[in-house]
Every structure is written in structure tokens, then in C-alpha cells.
Amino acid sequence: MTSESILAARIDDFYPVIPAGGVGSRLWPMSRPERPKFLIDLLGTGSTLIQDTVARLEPLGAEVMIVTGARHADAVAEQVPQVPAGNVVAEPSPRDSMAAIALAAAIIEARHGEQIMGSFAADHVIPDGEAFRAVVVTAIQAARTGKVVTIGIEPTEPSSAFGYIQAGEPLADAPGAFAVEAFTEKPDPDTAAAMLAQGGYAWNAGMFVVSTSVLLGHLARLQPMLEAGVRAIAAAWDDPGRDDALAEYWPTLTKIAIDHAIAEPVAAAGGVAMVPGPFSWHDVGDFDSLATLLTPDADGVTRIGRVPAVSAVDSPGLTVIGGSKPLAVVGIADAVVVETDEAILITSRTAAQRVKDVDL
């Protein structure tokens, strides 16, 4: 066997899980409660973020599982018809990321026994799928040593929008992986700058690769009710008893993020490893960061999607997303104009954070 085929064989027991939640309220009206960020073609490429995420993970050769809110399960199934119906897990109500990921782990283990799983958000932008997958393969290898493995994104700026992972020494038994000293919450800008200057910090993109048994084992110790609940639901998942089990146990599950439930306490005990992710990664939260990702046309206007004729007069840095009729912008710098079937938004790149305050 060549090393390539060894890797391919190992990947057969890898199950990517995609938690698909979060509206993206600063991307209104592109995103809306009934059409959250992961369901939209954010970059105007012709595919939605969840379609891109599934396509990015499929070449790893595993069976993808998606966990999403019940109201979005049909739309998800429609957008990624290649994912089997039984692998679109519909949450009856939002119970935060630990319940979603643990239920997926429990279903995978109930079906297949212990496997390696990876959890990757449905709405992140990663242009280079090859580079991403190479890192995931390294993380899978590290996960086989019994660690909870996170992929740490190499920071490109001292952002205060993300939590950080503090890396320690390289791990002898896991090539390419490092010990994790600690997870830190989103820092203030000064702290973020100091962390970048010091080095050894990576962005926490919420990517975890871990054996289902290791994950559920930590959970049994740290959140036993939660572990028991997802095990009970998973046991009935592929049976007629699924709905009853969901109805009985789902509402009892503790609402907690995986970072607080597992990553932070396990890291403190030396059980978390980090694989650096040198690929380009974006968690596009608002129209300013979205515009940053794109290249303006020759007229200086950045366009996303099908945009009608635009005339920009004394309006440098204009971004136009969608629209149904010719548009003129006069004397407004860095304007962002979004038109969907339902509404029109006009803002500026500097004000884009406040879009979440729109009341319509």
C-alpha cells in the first residue's frame, strides 16, 4: 500500500457532521429566519454555503450527516439531495451545539460502532477544499490517539470576532498536531493583538475531529444527563420509536456549547490536540466582511448574484447584491445595497454590523 491508499483506507471510517444553525442576522435580507445563512448563495457562485460544505467534505469518502432545525430540514434535504434522508437530523428545538454534535455521534456509533467523526459548521467559507481536506486527514490521524482534535485557523489579523486556541508542544504520537493549552473567549482588540504578537494562537473555528467513543466518554463524565439523552434518542433513531424518543429526551438536554461542555475542560486536562489549518477560512458575518472577499468589477462596483444595471456617481466602494431594476447610487461612499424578493437594505460597510437591528 502506498501512503495515499493507506490514508484513503483510514478515511472510510470517518463521518463528517455538519451542524447547520444560526440565522446570520447581520446578513439580512439575504438571510432571514426562514432562510438562514447556510441556505443562501452568499458569494453569488451559484451554490449555497451548505452545498459548498457538503461538497468540500464528500471527497473524504464518508457519509455526511447534517443536524439542523426542524423548520429547515426540508430545505436542507432539497439543497443536498445526495445526503440520505436518515442523515438529516432535525432538531425539534434549538439546544445548542453540544446536543446537536453529541446526538450525531451517538447515531453514528449506534449504527456503526466506534468511528471517527468531524464536526464542521455549515456556513463557513473555505475556498481551497484540497488544502482543507489535507488538514482534516491529519486531524483524523491525531484523533486516533484518543484526543479531541481541533483545527486551528492561522490568524490573518488580530480579530476580536473569534475565540482563540493556545497551542503547546508538538505531540510525538500525532504528526502535525500540537497540544492545546487552553481555549480563550473572543478577546478585546488589544488582547488579540498581544496574542498574535506572542504567537502560538489560532482561531477557533469550531472544527472538532474525535472518536465517537472518546467524545461520548467525555460527555458521560462531564454532562451525564446529556450523554444519556442522546444515547436514548440514537438507539431509537432508525426505528419507529424515533419521534417518541425525541419528544421524551430532546427537551431535557442541557443547552450548552461544545466549547464549554467538552473543549475547555478536556483541554485543561490535556486531552485536546490542535492541527494548524493554513488554508483560507472565512466566517462571513456581515456585508463588510462579505465585500472584502470579492473583487470589484472594472467600474469599481462589487456585485453578488444577478445584479441589474448600476450607475455609481461619486460613490466609491459600492457593493450591490441582487436587485430587480436599474440602480443609481449618488454621493454615498462604501454603500451596500441588497435587494431580495422580500426587501431592500441600504447600508454602508462601516455600519454593516448594525443590520441586525433592522426591525421589519
Binding site for its own copies (CB under 8 A): 28-29, 309, 311, 313-314, 323, 325-332, 335, 337, 339, 341-348, 350-352, 354-355, 357-360
Burial (CB < 10 A; 0-12, 13-18, 19+), residue 224, is exposed
Give the nearest distance from C-beta 332 to its own copies in angstroms. 6
Closest to 162 measured CA to CA, from 117, 128, 196: 196
Give the nearest distance from C-beta 312 to its own copies in angstroms. 9
Helix pair 129-143, 49-57: axis angle to 10 deg = 60
Give the nearest distance from C-beta 335 to its own copies in angstroms. 7
The CA–CA distances, whole Å, from 285 to 25, 48, 138, 300 equal 8, 15, 28, 23
Residue 118 or 322 with smaller CB distance to its own copies: 322
Residue 156 or 350 with smaller CB distance to its own copies: 350
Give the nearest distance from C-beta 311 to its own copies in angstroms. 5
Q: Dihedral, CA atoms, 162, 163, 165, 166, nearest 10 degrees?
A: 110
Q: Which neighbouring-strand residues pair with 209?
A: 118, 149
Residue 29 or 187 with smaller CB distance to its own copies: 29
Q: How big is the chain by its Cα radius of gyration, in Å?
A: 21
Residue 16 or 323 with smaller CB distance to its own copies: 323
Give the nearest distance from C-beta 325 to its own copies in angstroms. 5
Phi/psi of residue 351, nearest 5 degrees:
-100, 0
Give the nearest distance from C-beta 39 to its own copies in angstroms. 20
Residue 197 or 325 with smaller CB distance to its own copies: 325
Sign of CA dihedral 70, 73, 75, 76: positive
Q: Are 74 and 334 in contact (CB under 8 A)?
A: no
CA angle 14, 66, 286 (to 5 degrees): 115
Report how far residue 49's alpha carbon sits from residue 153's, in angstroms, rounded to the nearest whole number.
Answer: 19
Residue 111 or 356 with smaller CB distance to its own copies: 356
Residue 56 or 303 with smaller CB distance to its own copies: 303
Q: Hey, which bits of 305-357 come out as E strands?
A: 310-313, 319-322, 327-330, 335-339, 344-348
Give the nearest distance from C-beta 292 to its own copies in angstroms. 17
